[in-house]
Amino acid sequence: MNDLAWIIDTDIHPYIDPQRVADFLPQPWRRRVQSGNAGPGHLGYWNPNGVRRNDIFAPDDSPEKGKRVDADAATMVKHHLDRFALSHGILNADLINVGLSPETDFACAFMSSVNEAIVTDWFAVSPRILASIHVTPTDPQHAAAEIRRWAAHPQFVQVLMPSGSRTAYGSRLYHPIYAAAEECGLPVAIHPGTEGLGVSGVPTAAGYPGNYLEWHTGLVGSYLAHLISLISEGVFVKFPKLKFVMIEGGVSWLVPVLWRFDKNWKALRQLSPWLIHPPSHYAYEHILLTTQPIEEPENPQQLQNLLAMMPIEKMLMFSSDYPHWDGDTPDFVGRHIPAAHRRQVLRDTAWALYRLDERTKNTNSHHASRLIQNLKSKIQNPYVPISNHELE
């Protein structure tokens, strides 16, 4: 040793390749680290199958062989929309997570750019591609401005927020978002998967779940909290035309929770005196659910019994969640829906909610071309007008 070497460094950071650590890990944790999910850095909960399906590539016997179906509009139209006889599909990007960043300026800028990327790369390719306006709920003023910025675009059909949140969505903090959405005739939707991320609360009211199975099963908890909050705080009294879409939160929990809510309201209505009807009334008038992941009880009749307890013909809409690991296909969902309501669930309710009559009719009108000009100048990107024959 160098005689001069007598200093002790109490903090050195070696680079240890996580893949080298994996060599020493027992299973299943070695699989986890090898898959790239080492924990902290993103949410950390590990899905052993991957959150995105493994077979997201176009089939070998197609010209798009090997291309990701979820990564560009043309491939998605052919290998998802056409394959499953879908006339339209609404894009909700996983990037909505960034809306919960504590770096609000970044989150707002990022979400605006997500919307621009959707217009440029997806809408321009096919009028069958629709999307949500992605917003940053932690800055409601910015979110409201973003809604007004895009609302006239015929392919933006709703507003999307992550269901992970700092405060439940009935809070008046968020009302500027609802005012803008109602004014623009757009539903507001939430999508799960951000619970515990960024500035959102702990993933469950009981604290941190211990693995992905627990976390994912418990996501319904934030849906429950948002539903109760939205109704109790009078969002639908203040914004009577507002519709709220709870995407991917499950279906069968709703009715029993509303029973409990109605019962509590009978005793406690003075805390929410603006509720002149039982809470379930507002839920059935303003809340819509999407089908996936449809519950699959061992006895399928039990699901039928639950569906019969709610007006699914006006509040349930098909969703595939493609290409996530727990997605459903239309035929699979269709089999679970009573024949009398299948058409509404698979098409009619969404068609009406998203005003697709109007959106598809006006596409060649003077108004639409002015709109497109306006958008072109705004984002300075090519935009292909919609032609009616493409909509047939």
Partner 1 sequence: MSLYQITSLNELPPGARKLVTVAGKTIGVFNVNGQVVAVQNICPHELAPICVGRVDGTTLESQPGQMVWGRDGEILACPWHGWEFDLLTGQCLTDRRRLRQFEVKIVDEIIFIAVYS
31 is an interface residue for partner 1 by CB under 8 A? yes
Is 82 near partner 1 (CB under 8 A)? no
Give least dist CB 28 to partner 1, A. Answer: 6
CB atoms within 10 A of CB 253: 17
326: nearest Cα among 203, 217, 251: 217
CA angle, residues 256, 262, 267, in degrees to nearest 5: 135
Which residues make Cβ contacts (< 8 Å) with residue 380, sequence separation at least 6?
none
Of the ranges 52-60, 88-96, 225-233, 242-250, which one interacts with partner 1 (CB under 8 A)? 52-60
* Alpha-carbon gap, residue 170 to 268, rounded angstroms: 18
In DSSP terms, which residues pair with 162 in a beta bridge?
Answer: 191
Closest CA to 168 of 209, 245, 208, 221: 221
CB 99, CB 164: distance < 8 Å? no
The residue type found at 228 is: I
Count of residues of this chain found to bind partner 1 when the rule CB under 8 A is applied: 18
Interaction mask 211-240, partner 1, x per CB under 8 A: ------------------------------
CB of 295 to partner 1, least distance (A): 14
Least Å distance between CB 332 and partner 1?
Answer: 5
Instruction: Select the span of 24-32, 173-181, 262-270, 383-391 touching partner 1 (CB under 8 A).
Output: 24-32
In the complex, least distance from residue 331 CB atom to partner 1, rounded to whole angstroms: 8
Applying CB under 8 A, the span of 42-50, 124-132, 169-177, 341-349 interacting with partner 1 comes to 42-50
CB of 46 to partner 1, least distance (A): 12
CA-based diameter of the chain, in Å? 89
Q: Does 55 bind partner 1 (CB under 8 A)?
A: yes
> Residues 250, 160, 85, 320: what is their CA dihedral angle, to the nearest 10 degrees?
-30
Q: Does 29 bind partner 1 (CB under 8 A)?
A: yes
Per CB under 8 A, the segment of 53-61, 91-99, 220-228, 373-381 that binds partner 1 is: 53-61
Question: Buried b vs exposed e over 88-101: b needs ≥16 C-beta within 10 Å?
Answer: bbbbbbeebbbbbb
Q: What is the distance between the alpha carbons of residues 29 and 23, in angstroms, rounded to a whole number?
A: 10
Report the residue from 18, 36, 39, 48 that binds partner 1 according to the rule CB under 8 A: 48
Considering only 54, 270, 299, 301, the residue that binds partner 1 (CB under 8 A) is 54
53 binds partner 1 (CB under 8 A): yes
Of 235, 107, 89, the closest CA to residue 161 belongs to 107
- Told to check if 182 binds partner 1 by CB under 8 A, we report no
Q: Which region among 3-11, 46-54, 145-153, 192-200 touches partner 1 (by CB under 8 A)? A: 46-54
Site string for partner 1, 325-354 (x = CB under 8 A): xxxxx--x----------------------
Say if residue 323 is preceded by a cis peptide, omega within 30 of 0. yes
Residue with tokens 């927020």: 161
Count CA atoms within 13 Å of residue 334 on its CB side: 9
Binders of partner 1 among residues 252 to 311 (CB under 8 A) are: 298
What residue ranges bind partner 1 (CB under 8 A)? Answer: 26-29, 31, 47-49, 53-55, 298, 325-329, 332
